[in-house]
Structure formats: C-alpha cells, structure tokens
A and B are shown apart, each in its own frame.
Chain A
Amino acid sequence: MTLDTRIETATEAMTKKANSCYYQVQDNEVDIFNFAMAHNLPILIKGPTGCGKTRFVEYMAQELERELVTVSCHDDLTAADLLGRHLVSSDGTFWQDGPLTRAVRNGGICYLDEIIEARKDTTVVLHSLSDHRRELYLERTGEVIKAHKDFMLVVSYNPGYQNMMKGLKPSTRQRFVAMSFDYPTPENEADILVHEAGISLELAKTLVKLGADIRRLSDIDLKAAVSTRLLIYAAKMMSSGCHAQMACLHCIIEPLTDETETNKALSTLVNAHF
C-alpha cells in the first residue's frame, strides 16, 4: 500500500465513523497528523491554553484506534516519572515502567501535555526517541528499547507563557513536526459551542463575539486570552438555565483576572453583549 492510499484510507475511515469524541476540524491538522504518523515522525503542537490541543490528540487516537497515554507535565516531573523506576517489594527490587516506556514498548500515542512545564533534563530523554533512532535508553537498567512500530510521540506547549526560565531547547524543538493551533474561527467556535453545550446558534454567536472582544485585551490587560474551553463552560451553564451575566462572570471573567478594575470593565462588556 502506498503512502497516499494509506492516508486516504485512514481519512476515509475517519469521516465514516461515528464520533464519540467531538472535534471540529479547523484546518489541515488531521492530514498533517496522518502524514507524520505514516513516517513515524513526532509531533509538536503549539497553541494557547484551551484551544483544543488535547482534544485533537484524543480525537486522533480514537480515530486511529491507538492507545493514548497522556502525561500532564508539571514542575516536579522528573525523567524517572516518564521512564520508570526501581521499586522494592518483599521479593527484592523490581523495575516499574513509566508511562513513556510503556508506550514505547507496547505501541500507542504518548502525549506529553504542556511539556514546557517539565524540567529541562526531562525533555532530553526524548531526544533519541524523537529522531531516526526511535529508541529509548533506560539508564537505570541499561536497557535500550526500540520503539514499537505503532509508537508515536506527541508533545504540546503554550508559547504564550512568558516565564523566561521555561522554554523548549532549540535542540529539542528541532526534532518535531510542528503545528500551530489557535482559537477556532468565529463560525467554527460557534458550532463547537452549539455541539458541546447544546445552546442555540444565536446565543453561541453572541458568546463568540464576546470572546473576540475579550481576546483583544490579551497580553495588554489580561495575561491570557479567553479559551474556547471557558466559553464552553459558560455555554453549558447557560444551557441549564444560568443567567448569561452570571455564567460569564464566573466562567469567563473570574478565571481570567484578579484585578477588580479589569473585572468591572469586563462585566460591563458582558452587559453590552447580553
């Protein structure tokens, strides 16, 4: 089977299947994912918080029928947390595989969410795995594991975070096929709200317009833009009868800012929309 036909079959199969995990395709991200997968290339997804990165990976795993191992990276995540460690039992010590090692052995998509949050030494273990070698070296046991043919590495991060001590090393970045995600287009975002929260299209459009207005303030008055996720929260609360102003205050404004003045200004903005 040629590469093209493989991709075509995969895409076809996808469109035919009934989706249990909803994802609104934005652009050509599904194709890129399929192309990268055909060559076992690792993928890097960049995008602001709550724009659908994780949902996309879940959707692709479901469509491709691969096991998905998600690791949410955090400050204290060490290499051992990914690779595994020796544990002691009544019979002596034994080796316990970490989530990454498990995926490398058995095949599946290993998704490292917000990789920028992990310590820098952690990301170095990915190097041999994310180039042509496709192997994982376990220092503690001295084992070298060749990656399963179905293993795929996907990492994501949010380039908006401006903590200077955090950032992907260029040497790490250059091992990935990279995609930039952004918030969906207004039409798509309204569709997502309708689908996820079951609100009317008209209400969804108003929420999306509110979102667009608030996003103008990101990086000036707000640290982060309002995410599609937050809009979905507000839409869900409204669908169950919560008053629009109240839903927006608690699902959008309060999560975004602690500043009283910004809070008041945004509340007035919400009133302008509803």
Chain B
Amino acid sequence: MEEVVGKIWDKWITSQVTTDHVDTKVHFSELQSQLLIYYRAMGGDGAKSIEMAEKRELNIHRSTMQKIAGSHKQFYVSWQDERSLRLPPYIALFTDKNLNQSLYFWLTALAAQLDKQRRSAQLNTHDTNNHDANNSGSVLNQNDWFNDNQQATCHLITEYAGLRRLYSTLAHEVLRLRSIEIDASLKKQPTSSLSHHLFKGDFFNKDNDLEQAEKAIATVLKIPGVINQYPPCSKDVLPVPLWLYPPIDVQGQGANFDPMDEKNNQKNSKRKPGELQEIEQRKKAQYADDNRKTDGLLVFQAEALMTWTEQINLDRCQSDEDDDADVTQIAKDLDIISLSRHRKANAARIRFDLDLPAAAQDDLRLGDGILLPEWDYKQQRLVDNACVLQTMISDDVEPMALSSEYQKLSQDILALFAHIGLTPNRRKAQPSGDEIDLDAWIDNFALPVKDSSKQAFYIDTQHQNRDVNCLILADLSLSTEAYIDDKQRVIDVIRDSLMVFSEALTRLGDDFALYGFSSVRSQHVRFHIFKNFDMPHSDHVRGRIARIEPGYYTRMGAAIRQSSQLLSQRGGANKVLLIITDGKPNDLDQYEGRYGIEDTRQAIVEAKLLGLVPYCVTIDKKGHDYLPYLFGSNGFAIVSNASELPRVLPKIYLHLTAVH
C-alpha cells in the first residue's frame, strides 16, 4: 500500500513541476546523422562526433514545489569539447514539435560557430603560447560563456537570414517560458517561513544577484551582444536552452598522460578525462586520488569507507565487452565514476593478459622493427619515429589445402567473376575492331536502302588487362573476438573472407598481398605477413590465414603507412589498399579517440598522395560516424550483416576495380 501511494505521489508531484511537453518531444537519435552533416556544413570540426549529453548539476533557485519533488537539480545542457558535441537526448521544451526540432539545429549551428571562433582564437594565440592555446577550449569561465555565446549568436543571425528568423522565434518562446519559471520560483516564495525571516538580508541579497543575472540573460537573449559583463552571482541562472555550456570541468585537464606509464602514475597529478565505451551517455569521469597506498597498518573510520558505488576500480583500458552486467548497470546508474589507475586492483576482471606471448610461442619477428611517423593533430605535424612496427610471419604453419566448405564458397564467387569476363570478349557488329564481321556486312549488303550511319562490320576482341595490385590489410585487434552470432566470431568471418578472397584474386590474375595488424602501444605495432606480392598463393599462405588469432589494439595509422610503402613500390597503374576492420582506430595510449582518428586520416591522405586507392570495408554499423571523415564518402563500405562479408567483399572489390 505504501508503495502504491508513494508511486501515485511521485507521479503527481513530478507532473506538478515538469515543464516538458511529452506530445511534442523530439529525440536526439532521430536527428543524429542529420545534425552531424549540418554541423560539418556550418563549419564545425569534421573529426568531431555528436553524442547525447548527460545531465549536469546546476545550482538554480528552486521553487518549494520543485524542492519537494526533488527535481530541477540536474539538466540536460549542450556542450562540446575536443572530441564531440553533446546535445540533450530529447527536447520537449516547446509545444510546437518543429520548434523543438529546430532547437537541435540551432544548437548545432551555434556549436559549429563556437568551434570556428575557438579555432581562430587558437590560431591567434598559437605563436605566443602553445600550451595555453591547447587549453583555451576547455577552460571557460562564466564570463567567457556569456560572451562567446553572444558573439556566436550575433554572427549567425547576421550571416544567416533563416537563422535570424528562427532565433527570434526561439528566443521569444524561451523568454516567455523563463518569465513564467522565474515568476514561479523567485517571486512566489513562502514569506512566512521562519528561515526566510532569519536569513532575510542574505537571502534577498542573493536573490538580487540572481535577478540581475537573470535580467542580463534575458536582455542578451533578446538583443545578443548588448552586455559584455556577466553579473557575479553565487547561484546558477536557469538553464539557457539556446546556448552551449562549457565542457565539464575536469581537474588538470589537458596534459598528455600515458596511462601505461606506471612509473609516472605516482608523480603525475595531471590527467586527461577518460571514457567508457559501453555507456551511451558518457559519464562524468573523475579520477579519484588512489595513488596513496597504505603501508600495512590500516586506519580507517568505518563511516568514511567508500561504498562500491562511489569508487570502482574500473579499468578504462580493458576490453569494452565486459560481460559483467552488474558493473555496467551500476555504471549507468552513477553520475560520476571514479576511475582508478591501478590495473592490479581489478586484475581478476580483465579478460586478457596484456603481456605479449613468449618469444618461443610468438610469430617469427623479421628484423628489429621499422620506425614510422605519426600525425600529432595538436601540433599539426608528423612526428618522426613515433612508433615501431614489427613485421612478423608465422614460421611453423602447416600447409593447408582449400577445405571443401571454402571450395563451395569460392565456386560461387568465381562464378560471379566469370560473369564479368576473364576471357577475351568478342563483340560483333562493331564500328571498329580487329576482324571483319562478314555476317553484318552481308546483312547490310542485302538491304535495298543502306544507312551509312549504321556501318558496323567488325568483330571487336577486348582483352581484359586489369593491371591491378591489391594489398589487403586486415584488422586483427582483440575486438574481432566478439561474436556476431551463435557460431561465428568477427575474426572467423575475416579469416573466411581472406581465404575465399585470395582464391578469387588468384583466379582474377590481380597481384595481391595479404597482411594483418594489431598493436600494443606505439612501441609494438604487429604487422603480420600472410602473403606478400612476390609469394605465390599456396597452401602455406592458406595455412597462415587459417592460424590468424585476434589480439591487442588497432593502431591503424602505422599499419596503413607501412602498407602504403609496400604497395607504392609496385609497378602498374592501379593500386588498391583494401582495409578490413571492425571499428575505430584505438590503442592504449593517446591513440584512443581523436588522436587515432586524425593519425589514421593523415595516413590515408598520404596513401592517396602516393597514388593509391585506400578503401575500407567495415562491419561496424556505427561506421557512418567516422568513416566519411577518414576515407571520404565514396571510400568505404559498411557490411551490415557481418556473416556475409566473405561473399560481399569480392563484390565490393569488383565494383571498385570495374573496368569500363
């Protein structure tokens, strides 16, 4: 009974304070892909993605009703940082659905404009102080927030007539809603309460500040750019839905911190924010100071012990397929996750061992490794000798003939290839050709009236001269260990694809090489040879393909650079670099996130400059978020049904190299 009453009460009290219009709610997920394109078109950084924002705590003045309901503490506000733009998961502010939708686009346009402003500011300060420039995007005080938003708004409404109209509608509506809200929370305070009388002076004073701030906001929403000083105020103003908020403040953000460098762990107090891949709405990440280790004698106060929900020694470096549902659930429920740097603490949960296999069990290393550069997007330059690529080959493979199941699959694909004609194609009745087509001549001769424009008496023999070199680079990172269905893992599909595809290429007569890659930080990029261009396709090659196993991470840039080098040394006119992958570039160090994306992009740009055609085939359904930026709109294909990869891959290749 108590529970039922509680539920009814909760429902009622929430309905009393909620201002959302459920009927006209617009969800972020419906618009995500459009917003991303819009963001880029408006001049936003092409490497950024758009994600859902999480709730943020704002210390606003709440009405009694809101206090009773326990609502209006946290709000979905929009913000952006170096990696992405965060927008509310839904907008239900207005009674008009179109207006709610337009607000998404307004925020995106504003974010793009703010991004442009930030970049030009960085460019200006770059010469004087590089370090400050790097941080200027993240450290924003309230006054900057107040002014930057105004400046961006001013720019948009002067440059874009349509946005000017939209803004005036949005601003008018927002101001109307704000005045209702302010009336409710500021003016209708219960005056008889004891506390109010006791702290009257203080309260009024604070309210006065807040009123000034609210007035300032209202004025600049109406006429952006008229006030450039934000009145100091101890509380937060009501959330401004038309503006972007500063990035979530993380202590000491911005320093380059290598999470693998355990020695530095003890000294370095500056850290960069972490993230959890699994949880869609990124959680506010805060590194707890767990560097102090106890020295045996444990002195503690029981009541000060942190509960599991307050501090989890969650290892951000671990695989993102943690199957412990509880941890995931807890993580979703938490607002702030304290990330521990100490991998040991949760060692039992880590699904794989980061230590590399013993030399005896590992593939044979060829040479000492190759030093390769990497692109540092912050410095906008290639950093020489940034990573070491180790070429490896399986030296003790069993030669393997093509198994019957692969033979069946290969037959199907070869049938497809035969269709495009590997034998010379004789076309009759051509206007030009190598032989005379007597039939056509006689036909024409027999006609009483001859049409001189239709004189096609030749047989044209077309030789298929493909002249294609193809290097296939397969991603063998640990993420390929994931299961796509009950039977198959991603790596199995990749193995089958390589097996079948290499048969097809042999039949087609194209020169090809097969490589695979994975990485453990910059010092160990593993580059496996299955077949180089000079090796004939043989049972040994099949044996090596059959042995591929997933492991480690995806330092894609280095592997692409090395492959480009190998491919560019080949003669011939057409060189395809075919990359088969299952996700974004990532590694344990700074390669995760934007650095990895930018480095990979740069490696692809370099490949194109070498005259190669890089093409990516992925099974990552979210590939649309980042692949256009890496490979261009016609530089990739997403195979939505992963198990179809072995069949689809040859088709994609044929399409790519189709002879006209």
A266 in contact with B658 (CB, 8 Å) = no
Are A85 and B633 neighbours in the complex by a CB distance under 8 Å?
Answer: no
Write out the residue numbers on chain A whose beta carbons fall within 8 Å of the beta carbon of B417. none
Shortest distance from the beta carbon of B468 to any chain A beta carbon, whole Å: 8
- Do A78 and B38 contact each other (CB < 8 Å), given the known contacts A164-B574, A169-B573, A220-B46? no
Look across to chain B and name the residue whose beta carbon is closest to the beta carbon of A162.
B634
- In the assembled complex, B238 has its CB within 8 A of some CB on chain A: no
Does A268 count as interface, using CB distance less than 8 angstroms?
yes
CB of B628 within 8 A of chain A? yes
Contacts of B46 in A (CB 8 A): 216, 220
Q: Does the CB pair B573–A167 fall under 8 Å?
A: yes
Given A85-B431, A209-B159, A265-B35, A164–B656 Cβ distance below 8 Å?
Answer: yes
- Across the interface, do B43 and A265 meet the contact criterion of CB distance under 8 Å? no
Interface centre among B160, B163, B575, B628 (most CB of A within 10 A): B160
Interface pair A265/B634, CB less than 8 Å apart: no
Contact status B161-A223, CB under 8 Å: no
Q: Is the interface of A mostly helix, strand, loop or mixed?
A: mixed
Q: Does A46 contact B (CB under 8 A)?
A: no
In the complex formed, the residue of B with least CB distance to A219 is B632
The listed residue (B37, B163, B450) touching A221 by CB distance below 8 A is B37
Give the Cβ gap from A253 to chain B, nearest Cβ, in Å. 11
Please indicate the chain A residues that have their CB under 8 angstroms from the CB of B457 in the complex: 88
A187-226 interface mask toward B, CB cutoff 8 Å, 1 = contact, 0 = none? 0000000000000000000100100011011011111000
Select A220's contact among B444, B613, B628, beta carbons within 8 Å. B628
A166 touching B660 by the CB < 8 A rule?
Answer: yes
Judging by beta carbons under 8 Å apart, are A78 and B432 in contact? yes
| Interface pair A88/B634, CB less than 8 Å apart | no
A30 within 8 A of B: no
Decide if B538 is an interface residue (CB 8 Å cutoff): no
Q: How large is the interface on A (under 10, 10 to 19, 20 to 34, 35 or more residues)?
A: 35 or more
By a CB distance below 8 angstroms, the chain A residues around B575 are: 164
Query: Which of A87, A89, A262, A271 is close to B37, meaning CB atoms less than 8 Å apart?
Result: A262
Q: Are A75 and B573 in contact (CB under 8 A)?
A: no
Interface centre among A262, A269, A274 (most CB of B within 10 A): A269
Question: What separation, in Å, do the CA atoms of A169 and B431 have in the docked complex?
Answer: 26
Cβ–Cβ contact A220 & B629, under 8 A: yes
Q: Let me know if B206 is at the binding interface, CB within 8 A.
A: no
**In residues 23-55 of chain B, which contact A (Cβ within 8 Å)?**
33-38, 40-43, 46
Chain A nearest CB, measured from B322 CB (Å): 32
B166 at the interface (CB under 8 A from A): yes
Residue of B nearest to A167 (CB): B573
Do B40 and A221 touch across chains, with their CB atoms under 8 A apart? Answer: yes
| A165 vs B656: C-alpha distance when bound (angstroms) | 8
Q: Tell me whether A249 is interfacial, beta carbon within 8 Å.
A: no
Q: Contact at B37–A265, with CB atoms within 8 Å? A: yes
Between-chain CB contacts (< 8 Å), 16 pairs:
A85-B432, A88-B457, A164-B576, A164-B657, A166-B660, A216-B40, A219-B633, A220-B629, A222-B633, A223-B633, A262-B34, A264-B34, A265-B33, A268-B105, A269-B41, A272-B163
> Which residues of B are in contact with A by a Cβ distance under 8 Å?
33-38, 40-43, 46, 105, 109, 159-163, 166, 431-432, 444, 450, 452, 455, 457, 573-576, 613, 628-629, 632-635, 656-660
